[in-house]
Structure 1
């Protein structure tokens, strides 16, 4: 396998994306910047999801908790607060998935959630899906909906900068660590 094929294989694996479709819930993995909420807001405004679940207790770029920045942005964009569930304690992807899935079961019940749009950074999408799959019923369909933000790493350019390469190889390492702990499921 040459360098081009290796980069292509990494991109294909990490940067999962599904066609847009109607779902029962948009599940948003927070990060310090806002781009991951954008697909969820778009789905809501298109009438393709009735609710959002925002999860993440990290620190956003403005110093606030990620969930708070994401929720405020969604509400400012016209999503009613009543359509937003917020999980405020998760500090990593495993906790996002575990705590978010528990909230879905408690607040909505799995009978009313048969499909989920997974909204996460493009390069983080594979781990987000594989981690979430570990915590939700097998019959729930997962739809990868990453943002298309120019500030995020892209599948066709990540290798062009040292920072891009560092972040991608760190993500591959995190997938390996999660897999060794048994925190991932096949998708």
Structure 2
């Protein structure tokens, strides 16, 4: 794969939406890099980037305990108050994170007052989070605090086996997800780049 193709993929899958003060923080559940995710969320809360944080994630990966509970407990230990947390414990995919999470937020906040969200999630999944929000919770001003737990700089994603696998795996699924209306393209962003022979970067 050419350097140009690698850059097109990186620009599309990991767009820059710098974190900004928002009406809501939204941490997408994970079993990977939990400490890094919680430290990022705690830092944003300390900086006043949000007052309420939605943590969405159910009992995934064969684990009985919901991702939201694991992350929530860690955030409490770091000093985020329980009153700041909204835990959604049933979602098992990104669409459910947004749909179930939105419903859970509605139990605690006036949805009409939420006009902006700062996303905390895996760097390699940035595009999917934003496109899923665009599909299931449109109209929000979106920003992102991407968490890179791979141990290499983002610009070297293609040199790290797991990082490369995750980015290319997600890149390959986007057209089907768009066709199924799981996702919507993000307003103002470049469309999906049409590449050939991108399966194995060199």
Same fold (TM over 0.5): yes
1:29 aligns to 2:28 (yes or no): yes
1:98-137, Cα deviation, whole Å (9 max, x unpaired) = 1112222332122221110011100101001100121214
- Gap change, CA 1:89 and 1:27, over 3 Å in 2: same
| RMSD of equivalent CA atoms | 2.2
Counterparts of 1:4-83 in structure 2, within 5 Å, are 4-33=3-32, 34=34, 35-59=36-60, 64-83=65-84
Match of 1:128 in 2: 129
1:43-80, Cα deviation, whole Å (9 max, x unpaired) = 11112210100001144798743111110111111101
1:110 aligns to 2:111 (yes or no): yes
Match of 1:96 in 2: 97
Match of 1:165 in 2: 164
- Gap change, CA 1:18 and 1:38, over 3 Å in 2: farther
- Gap change, CA 1:148 and 1:161, over 3 Å in 2: closer
Measured in 2, the distance between the counterparts of 1:153 and 1:98 equals: 33
1:156-175, Cα deviation, whole Å (9 max, x unpaired) = 12211333332222111332
Instruction: Pick which of 21-30 and 171-180 moved more.
Output: 171-180
Measured in 2, the distance between the counterparts of 1:130 and 1:12 equals: 14
SS of 2:54's equivalent? strand
Measured in 2, the distance between the counterparts of 1:153 and 1:142 equals: 26
SS of 1:89's equivalent? coil
* Paired positions, count: 184
- Gap change, CA 1:185 and 1:84, over 3 Å in 2: same
Partners of 1:123 and 1:154 within 8 A in 2: no
SS of 2:154's equivalent? coil
Measured in 2, the distance between the counterparts of 1:82 and 1:68 equals: 15
Q: In structure 2, list runs of 5 or more residues that go unmatched.
A: 187-202
Match of 2:147 in 1: 147
Instruction: Give the drift of 1:185.
Output: 1.6
1:12-47, Cα deviation, whole Å (9 max, x unpaired) = 111123223211111011111213333322111112
Partners of 1:122 and 1:154 within 8 A in 2: no
- Gap change, CA 1:62 and 1:144, over 3 Å in 2: same
Measured in 2, the distance between the counterparts of 1:172 and 1:123 equals: 10
Instruction: Pick which of 89-98 and 152-161 moved more.
Output: 152-161
